[in-house]
Structure 1
């Protein structure tokens, strides 16, 4: 299946560069471009892209507000935030806006392409380094009550949920809990379904925002 990409950036040279880069990939097609946040919202509705590469700083409507508008209409949209600014506030706000990933424009091309495929596959792009930054933001505010749905998780699903919140991949979770990667994927799917979450990013946000996982708490045994 072809991954349909919308490139939203206010610089025409940047958009052209992404188009040229992605044109080399047989499974990726750039279906539209946008130079403003408002145009990104319109193009998303018109072309229904698989993944939206969204710059943060754009005229008319910044990338974070555009992401919120797009997700408000289409909760299944996959938004990969692009920026040259490696700042905590942008990472935090991008994830709160509902983004499925966060990459820097100066990341290697192969890393960007891998990120697009990761997000298109329904996974989230959230490294442990980014997770630590999210933690530092969420622990500054008093947590609300944990969701009632947490009680629906089995003991093993709680273990997996905690390790997701720590930023571990499926393979790393499997090694940590001494279970196969396929079993981990099944547990992850059940956790997301039971907690009504779209992806791993939302799981991390929920875990720390609700105080379900402490930044320095122990890992499951």
Structure 2
């Protein structure tokens, strides 16, 4: 069976060394490159084109921009964020940048390995502790929407929500709808205000609770 090629990026030498040792002991993985900051991660990713790139999002440099470029120009490369940050807004921002998964550094080695395999299969993986937190926040968002007045969506807003449900990024939405990314962001701001939510994940949850008198959510 062909091994899964990996690249690793972390600015803490001990953490990077630990990751190397972990994956060297697993025969199904091959580490093809390492980095210690956002710029090195981008260079390593574009040069070695690993199947999965494990990236510490708190490294020096613009890591979110690096993730976006790795996904856009790295071909088959999937990005798995590996971070001590358990804030849901940071996790959502990371996934919005193009990462396929988010694993907390307090997770077990087996969960990290499970995350690598999942994103390599094309799935989205969120570490269990954080997933539970997101589910609870979704529940609270649903309660906030249920308590609010009926909300109607414009056709364009419905189109954007439909594309969000397909996992589209702002850039992909802008391209398909032939509008600018800035315009997409403006629509997202309006949607969050209309639905009384704080981020795009809550927009999706809230949209499912809309009154039937609202505009339909368009499907492709």
Normalising by the residue count of structure 1, what TM-score does the alignment of the two structures yield?
0.63
Q: Answer yes or no: is the 8 Å Cα contact 2:92–2:201 preserved in 1.
A: no
Aligned mates of 1:76, 1:35 — CA distance in 2? 22
Question: Match of 1:88?
Answer: 88
Aligned mates of 1:44, 1:68 — CA distance in 2? 12
CA deviation string 1:63-91 (max 9, x = no partner) = 22210121232364311111112112211
1:6 aligns with 2:7: yes
Q: Kindly state the Cα deviation for residue 12 of structure 1 after the two structures are TM-superposed.
A: 1.4
Question: Match of 1:29?
Answer: 30
Q: Kindly state the Cα deviation for residue 62 of structure 1 after the two structures are TM-superposed.
A: 3.3
Q: 1:131 to 1:113 in 2, by over 3 A?
A: same
Structure showing greater radius of gyration is: 2
Q: Answer yes or no: is the 8 Å Cα contact 2:38–2:62 preserved in 1.
A: yes
Q: 1:133 to 1:55 in 2, by over 3 A?
A: farther
Aligned mates of 1:133, 1:101 — CA distance in 2? 19
Aligned mates of 1:29, 1:78 — CA distance in 2? 15
Question: Match of 1:129?
Answer: 132
CA deviation string 1:12-38 (max 9, x = no partner) = 111110010011111111110001101
1:213 aligns with 2:208: yes
Superposition pairs of residues 42-53 of structure 1, within 5 angstroms: 42-53=43-54
Q: Kindly state the Cα deviation for residue 213 of structure 1 after the two structures are TM-superposed.
A: 2.5
Give the unaligned 5+ runs of structure 2. 145-150, 170-199, 211-220
Q: 1:134 to 1:52 in 2, by over 3 A?
A: farther
Aligned mates of 1:134, 1:212 — CA distance in 2? 15
Aligned length: 166
Aligned mates of 2:17, 2:10 — CA distance in 1? 10
SS of residue paired to 1:123:
coil
1:16 aligns with 2:17: yes
Q: Answer yes or no: is the 8 Å Cα contact 1:102–1:125 preserved in 2.
A: yes
Aligned mates of 2:160, 2:64 — CA distance in 1? 29
Q: Answer yes or no: is the 8 Å Cα contact 2:83–2:103 preserved in 1.
A: yes
For the aligned residue pairs, the C-alpha RMSD in angstroms reads 3.5
Aligned mates of 1:30, 1:121 — CA distance in 2? 18
Aligned mates of 2:9, 2:58 — CA distance in 1? 10
Normalising by the residue count of structure 2, what TM-score does the alignment of the two structures yield?
0.63
Q: Answer yes or no: is the 8 Å Cα contact 2:5–2:50 preserved in 1.
A: yes
Q: 1:112 to 1:51 in 2, by over 3 A?
A: same
